[in-house]
Amino acid sequence: MAIDRKKIINELSGLQVRGDDQGLIPAYGVLVQRIPVSFWNGFSKAILDAAGDDVGDAAEGLLENAAAECGYHTGHGIITSEEFQAVVSPMVEKEPEDILHGAYGVLTAWGWANAEITELIPDEKMVIRACDYYEHDMGPTKRPFAFMIRGVSRAFMDLAYGDPYPNGFGRFKCEQTRGIEVGDEYGEFVVTRA
Amino acid sequence: MPDVASTKRYASHNSTVKFKVREEFDKNRMRHYVNGEVSVMHCHHYATLFTQLALDASLLNGTDHLIRTSFEAFHAPLIRYYEVENVKNIADRLAIAEQYFSFVGLGAIRFACNDRSAVVVMEYSHVDEGWLSRWGRRDSRVNYIGEGYIKAACAAAFDLTNPDDIKVVEAESIVCGAPRSRFDVQW
């Protein structure tokens, strides 16, 4: 595996991203924004607190699905972007596994999480370890809170092993097995077939 | 928006102040900071699906939570910016709020205010245009994140503390087919 994670982070964490003269950021095939993480965390906590035990599972599922769709569409935009082609693609020896490793370098450079793949069985299973991620800022919580990483991780597996974009969404699921927000040393996410 | 702004006491066209950006990337934690605020890039799918979730959760007052969370997320950085940069003039504060909104990719917004009211126009809106791109036009508004931002900006500009004292009515919406969104605000 020739992916140089440090080089990816160094080169892509410094990209200048800001609104154009319309105040919009069209990039990676989507419109992006870069707002405080307290918004994403705050709404997730507020809606889960309001849901309580009765509909909490359903609310968690919707939060995770929002991230999965984000990860699927934006992830496709990332791996087909000029930046990815310039920085990551020259390192790719084995597809799609090296692309997946590279995508976690990009995810880290974007500030979503300091996360990388620790186990990958092609088309079957992927384990992610995240030693930091903004969602754990809401901790301590009773239950794992990293819906964004869960959703994005299964979406990345869909992009790697599902039908060609945009028809491959939903083949995988993700379980968060450890979380800093629940007292673990790091977050762990296990993606398997749905 | 000169036709509306000219009738108001405070508007950004009376200001020449420029939004100063300090961007940092913490290579230990892999976090991005914009003027000291941990910030992250996400797409319109994420923003519109959070909005859809809030709309679906009407029994849980979902959109109220979205508005308040947006208020809290933007009020604090605006207040901190005004303190750090010593921005006391209301027109200057409104100009900064407009530029911050655009900088983070939420669109183009203009405030025109009197002491207890405002007309706010969005020529472009990340949330509305993201919704249009994803689902198309609809007959009711979706920009609750924008409403929270407007409350935050008005509160920060006029030193108001309670977002519940600020009433916002989205009178026209891009997502409903209007050429621009318009919000009527009173406090």
pLDDT bucket at B6, cuts 50 / 70 / 90: low
Contacts with A46 from chain B: Cβ below 8 Å = 65, 68-69
Interface mutation target, options B23, B29, B46, B129, chain A, most CBs of A under 10 Å: B46
In 10 A of CB B7, how many CB atoms? 11
Residue B49 has its nearest CB partner, among A30, A66, A110, at: A66
∠ CA B132-B137-B143, rounded to 5°: 65
| Percentage with pLDDT > 70 across chain B | 96
Residue-level pLDDT at B26? 96
Interchain proximity A18–B70, CB inside 8 Å: no
pLDDT at B4: 63
- Read off the pLDDT band of A1 (50, 70, 90): low
Q: Is B73 on the interface with A (CB under 8 A)?
A: yes
- Checking if the pLDDT of B75 tops 50, the result is yes
Per the listing, tokens 């969104």 go with: B181
Q: Are B32 and B23 in contact (CB under 8 A)?
A: yes
Closest listed residue to residue A49, CA positions, set B62, B46, B110: B62
Mean pLDDT for the stretch of residues A121-143: 97
Set of chain A residues whose Cβ sits within 8 Å of the Cβ of B76: 38
Token output for A157: 């597996």
The predicted model gives B47-63 an average pLDDT of: 96
pLDDT band per the 50, 70, 90 thresholds, residue B38: very high
- Mean pLDDT for B92-111 is 98
Give B2's pLDDT tier (boundaries 50, 70, 90).
Answer: very low
Q: What is the band of B40 on the pLDDT scale with cuts at 50, 70, 90?
A: very high
Question: What's the pLDDT at B13?
Answer: 82
Q: Which residue among A33, A38, A62 places its CB closest to the CB of B53?
A: A62
Contacts of A43 in chain B (CB under 8 A): 50, 54, 65-66, 69
pLDDT of amino acid B5:
65
- B130 and chain A: CB distance < 8 Å anywhere? yes
- Residue B125's pLDDT is 98
Residue pLDDT, tens place only, A32-49: 999 999 999 999 999 999
Residue A2's pLDDT is 86
What is residue A119's predicted lDDT score, i.e. its pLDDT?
98
Query: In the prediction, which pLDDT does B127 show?
Result: 98
**Mean pLDDT value across residues B51-70:** 96
Chain B residues close to A132, C-beta within 8 Å: 29-31
Average pLDDT over residues B104-131: 97
- Give the Cα-Cα-Cα angle A176, A180, A185 (nearest 5 degrees): 105
- Tell me the mean pLDDT in the region B47-66: 96
Rounded Cα distance between B20 and B29, Å, is: 24
Q: State yes or no: pLDDT of B41 exceeds 90.
A: yes
Query: Collapsing DSSP states into helix, strand and coil, what is residue B27?
Result: coil
- Residue A111, pLDDT > 80, answer yes
Residue A118 identity: T
Measure CB to CB from residue A47 to each of B32, B47, B62 and give the nearest one. B62
Higher pLDDT, A149 or B3: A149
Nearest residue in A to B29, CA atom: A132
What pLDDT band is residue A29 in, cutting at 50, 70 and 90? Answer: confident
Cβ contact, residue pair B40, A114, below 8 Å? no
Nearest CA in chain B to A30: B43
The whole-chain average pLDDT of chain B stands at: 95
Q: Where are the beta strands (DSSP E) in chain B?
A: 10-11, 23-26, 31-34, 37-43, 107-113, 117-125, 167-172, 181-186
- Tell which residue, A149, A118, A120, has the closest CA to residue A132: A149
* A135-169 pLDDT tens trace: 999 999 999 999 999 999 999 999 999 999 999 99
Q: Is B123 exposed, middle or buried (0-12, 13-18, 19+ CB in 10 A)?
A: middle
